[in-house]
Chains A and B, each alone.
Chain A
């Protein structure tokens, strides 16, 4: 058992190191050298790599939302506004959060494992000895790619989610497609769209930078790589849910 004081100390140290990393990433983004080819590769890896899982998540979430809200709306005889609830919940909450969680499982864990195994096999030390800053070469391209791709993936998830909702509304709830769509559009207000786009930018940055941070701090051989992979998924998932609450709270007081 680790004493609580020790635990708090090591947690604070971890946070300090993480903040230091984000500072270095910021510097690496605005100054040279910049590794463009690595950025392109990561955009493709994160974007294309997560597309299938994000589409599946979006479709099924939209379908289940339509089923559930349809049931509740029936109690008020308001089944026809199902589109409004589907779009609002998708865009504000479920699209950003579920996409970020799926990308964490698909990509965040892979990043931690890849960088972690580079650390334990001395490849990161080799990079430094060859005159390359590992932050610029490994971390900056991944973090930028995550920050760019997660919002795009989220928009895709929202889109297919609404389509999933449409399918259920028409086939199960017997709501006309045109009624569903006009409700989808009416359900969205400008603040919702702002919230729906702010969240995935922050989630993308957080989940990738956490994966990189945990990977870079890997110690203890192959076992350490396994530990880092698990830790990165847990840490990033919790961070996404906490950030989701904080951003929602903040934006509600600012925008609504």
Chain B
């Protein structure tokens, strides 16, 4: 495989962006014992786009994210991440692909024994062995981006749910990965706090050009993210209703009992007449 490993903290973000898909699922099947979780799932994520995965709990959404990361292997089908086939890759080759992926786990999955700063800088301190000053500066920058700069020395146990999610986002984005995966980042948060998390996701999509998959069953947040965009003027970031030419950057995909039941834009989803989708939307 081509060298994916040549990655440092200051690797240019948008270097060599093409319209090659960043993630491809082709006829993916997965069962745990005799419980079939994914049935013939296919989809494509293009660079710079955001795909929102909807579906009842147990529909297989987290499972798809785990397959993308190579934490789980499908029983059948093909999975490509940045052009590399990950479903048959060895664990050591997977490490190289994971360098380009950031994952925000359900509930955050922050390391209990490390401070906020150590959690966020984990990749720089422990894996890439970036010089400490450089790493500290990047940690401060990223914590500032998610509005958590004052919490750098706190322990995760001292944070609220929303703060934990934002730290988890900061940890996932530390090395400027090309793909971010969010697993229910707003579940269990109050609507106001949820909006602060939604804004981070919009900023990463619109200002950093990250390709992302968002798993959620909070429709409010999903539509807010799909129908808003972030624009930067100087140091200030504003959020406004999305312009028509950028509206297509966010797409919805509905999973129903392990199958893709719908794929389309926010507008198409709002206008759907499918009874299952209508029930889910109401």
Contacts and interface: CB of A to CB of B under 8 A. Distances in A.
Interface stretch (B23-31, B91-99, B196-204): B91-99
Interface string A113-136: 000011001110110111111000
Contacts of A35: 126
Contact of A123 (B102, B106, B109, B123): B109
Given A123-B111, A123-B112, A129 B98 contact: yes
Interface string A63-89: 000000000000000000000000000
Contact of A131 (B71, B105, B107, B123): B123
B228 to A, nearest CB: 28
B122 interface: yes
A131 B98 CA distance: 6
Contacts of B107: 121-122
Contacts of A130: 98, 122-123, 127, 171
B143 interface: no
B45 interface: no
Contact of A121 (B66, B103, B109, B171): B109
Nearest to A41: B113
Contact of A132 (B66, B71, B106, B126): B126
A132 B91 contact: no
A129 B69 contact: yes
Interface string B73-107: 00000000000000000010001001101110111
How large, as a class, is the contact surface on chain B?
20 to 34
A126 B91 contact: no
A123 B110 CA distance: 7
Contacts of B171: 130
Contacts of B110: 123, 126
Interface in A119-161: 121-123, 125-126, 128-133, 137
Interface in B103-139: 103, 105-107, 109-112, 122-123, 126-127
Contact of B111 (A126, A128, A133): A126
B127 A126 contact: no
Interface string A24-37: 00000000010100
Contact of A129 (B71, B106, B126): B71
Contacts of B98: 128-131
B105 A122 contact: yes
A125 B94 CA distance: 13
B109 A132 contact: no
B103 A132 contact: no
B69 A128 contact: yes
Contact of B105 (A33, A117, A126, A132): A126
Interface string B56-73: 000000000010010100
A133 B105 contact: no
A137 B122 CA distance: 12
Contact of B71 (A33, A118, A121, A125): A125
Contact of B109 (A33, A126, A131, A137): A126
Interface in A53-70: none
Nearest to A137: B126
Nearest to B92: A133
B69 A131 contact: no
A104 to B, nearest CB: 22
9 contacts: A122-B107, A126-B109, A128-B98, A129-B69, A129-B102, A129-B103, A130-B98, A130-B123, A133-B95
Given A122-B109, A126-B103, A131-B95, 5 more contacts: A121-B109, A122-B107, A128-B71, A130-B98, A133-B91
